[in-house]
Structure 1
Amino acid sequence: MSIGTQLRRAIGRIGDIVFPPVCLGCGELAGSHGGLCGSCWSRLRAIEAPVCDVLGTPLAYDAGKGVLSADAIANPPPFAKARSAVVYDDMARAMVHRLKYKDRTDLAKVMARWMMRAGGDVIGACDAIVPVPLHRRRLLTRRYNQAAELARALAPLAGLTYLPAALYRTRATRQQVGLGTQARADNVRGAFSVSAHGRSQITGRSVLLVDDVYTTGATVKSASRALLKAGADHVYVLTFARVAPGAS
């Protein structure tokens, strides 16, 4: 073993003593940095096949490739496909809350790796990555955009061009929490636009739109329409978590 390797390992052991690895879910001591303890891992529900080919919602049984859910057939979205890494239950909600409100931007790198695994089929179809933006007033209050943190971490993993300023909010909207399906859609209708420079960046390209949680899809549908209107070829959606059908 080289002296350099021995030195790096020694520094790593000292670092673990000063900053011991903790679980990203509960905050208790864990076996390694950037992971979950066994209890929290068992409570995180990954979304795996079979899923609706368009909406990415879990299906009860595998009916073959390209199967669509009833919702996708009845209400076709403006985006081409959507995928999510995990179900938005207690554990996923805790992680999103820490990223969003507790300055835990370090979680974005871990969450992005899970999104990378879940979104392989949509990532491969895209040229650029765009986060769902916050309105500038909310950004000043929160200081950072959790969707942008996820997109920034995901871009180098996916090999996509990161376009943080291509899409912006034209007006401040109410928070979606607590609103019904129609109220959510009304709240974000026409709330997004593409900047002049962003238009030149996305025209004729397939765009990966990134957000933290997919609930009813109102936000990403509105954002997708703005991107398509501005000249994007296709829009694909990737979120860390999604609310289970019927739970919104």
Structure 2
Amino acid sequence: MSRCLYCHTDYAIHLTWESLFNLHSDNGLCQNCDEQLQEIKGEICNICGRSFSLFPEQYRQDNMCHDCIRWEEDENWHGVLARNRSLYVYNSHMQEMLSKYKYRGDAELAKVFHQKVRTLYKKEFRRHFLVPIPLSEERHLERGFNQSLLITNGVAHVHSVLVRTSHEEKQSKKSRAERMNISGRLFSAIMDVSQKDVLLVDDVYTTGSTIRQAAKELLEAGASSVSSITLAR
């Protein structure tokens, strides 16, 4: 028997041909909790990775969503983010799981995502330079860990390229307009990344503001391109 990392109920691991040959491994969740996570599948926006099946057709233009079109039409942000790929839809279950992980200090929940992050990294970003999004010193002391760093455990060697230069109000408390209204510098690059394809790692892609601010600093530090992996979109 195993204990679910989220709801803490005991569950049995069902043996299948996949599990016997290590093609599928236990992610630490019981069947009920696992089934409530909604994987992103099918057609997605070329840039942000958002599933086209989750919003009306009029908010899509060719292979891009309207959010990304607006970013790309802005001369300050055009081409800053090559692509984001997310594992899950940010539904109510994922929202509650990440809230428990980040704000209630349940660092063990990072283990739920390790296998899928490793698989995605090896499939699409194998040669990329791995950079977790940093927290401000204040936020790090408050939480006791960096949730983005824990996500990368066992994926590849990570590089502390960025530092947080300002302490912001939590993104979860901001409106959409406030998140997209960027002023000042949020990050600073402390390491040369010339000619490197960089992969940022964070927990959630909402408007893409945080990821793009980090990407812009990395491009100015010489990066050839910047992409990202996030747990949820």
Identity %: 31
Query: How far is 1:98 from its partner?
Result: 2.8
Query: How far is 1:146 from its partner?
Result: 0.4
1:193-232 Cα deviation digits (max 9, x unpaired): 111xx22xx2210111000111111111111111111111
Q: Per the alignment, do residues 49 and 120 of structure 1 end up closer, same or farther by CA in structure 2, a change over 3 Å counting?
A: farther
User: 2: distance between equivalents of 1:143 and 1:40?
Assistant: 26
Q: Which residue of 2 aligns with 1:128?
A: 129
Q: Which residue of 1 aligns with 2:66?
A: 70
1:127-161 Cα deviation digits (max 9, x unpaired): 21101111112212221110111123432xxxxx3
Is residue 165 of structure 2 the alignment partner of residue 170 of structure 1?
yes
Structure 2 residues not aligned, in runs of 5+: 14-25, 55-61
Q: TM-score, normalised by structure 1?
A: 0.75
| Counterpart pick for 2:106 among 104, 117, 120 | 104
1:11-58 Cα deviation digits (max 9, x unpaired): xxxxxxxxx521233221122464322222221100012111111010
Larger radius of gyration: 1
Is residue 39 of structure 2 the alignment partner of residue 43 of structure 1?
no
Q: Which residue of 2 aligns with 1:150?
A: 151
Is residue 229 of structure 2 the alignment partner of residue 238 of structure 1?
yes
Query: How far is 1:184 from its partner?
Result: 1.5
Amino acid at match of 1:224: A
Q: Which residue of 1 aligns with 2:186?
A: 191
Higher helix share: 1
Root-mean-square deviation (Å): 2.4
Q: Per the alignment, do residues 210 and 28 of structure 1 end up closer, same or farther by CA in structure 2, a change over 3 Å counting?
A: same
Secondary structure of the corresponding residue to residue 75 of structure 1: helix
Q: Which residue of 2 aligns with 1:10?
A: none
Q: Is 1:83–1:119's contact at 8 Å kept on the other side of the alignment?
A: no
Secondary structure of the corresponding residue to residue 131 of structure 2: strand
Q: Per the alignment, do residues 186 and 71 of structure 1 end up closer, same or farther by CA in structure 2, a change over 3 Å counting?
A: closer
| Counterpart pick for 2:214 among 215, 218, 223 | 223
User: 2: distance between equivalents of 1:102 and 1:73?
Assistant: 36
Query: How far is 1:185 from its partner?
Result: 3.2
Q: Per the alignment, do residues 132 and 107 of structure 1 end up closer, same or farther by CA in structure 2, a change over 3 Å counting?
A: same
Amino acid at match of 1:69: C
Q: Which residue of 2 aligns with 1:17?
A: none
Q: Per the alignment, do residues 88 and 189 of structure 1 end up closer, same or farther by CA in structure 2, a change over 3 Å counting?
A: farther
Q: Which residue of 1 aligns with 2:20?
A: none
Paired residues in the alignment total: 209
Q: TM-score, normalised by structure 2?
A: 0.80
Q: Which residue of 2 aligns with 1:81?
A: 83
Query: How far is 1:121 from its partner?
Result: 5.3
Query: How far is 1:176 from its partner?
Result: 1.1
Q: Is 2:86–2:229's contact at 8 Å kept on the other side of the alignment?
A: yes
Query: How far is 1:186 from its partner?
Result: 3.6
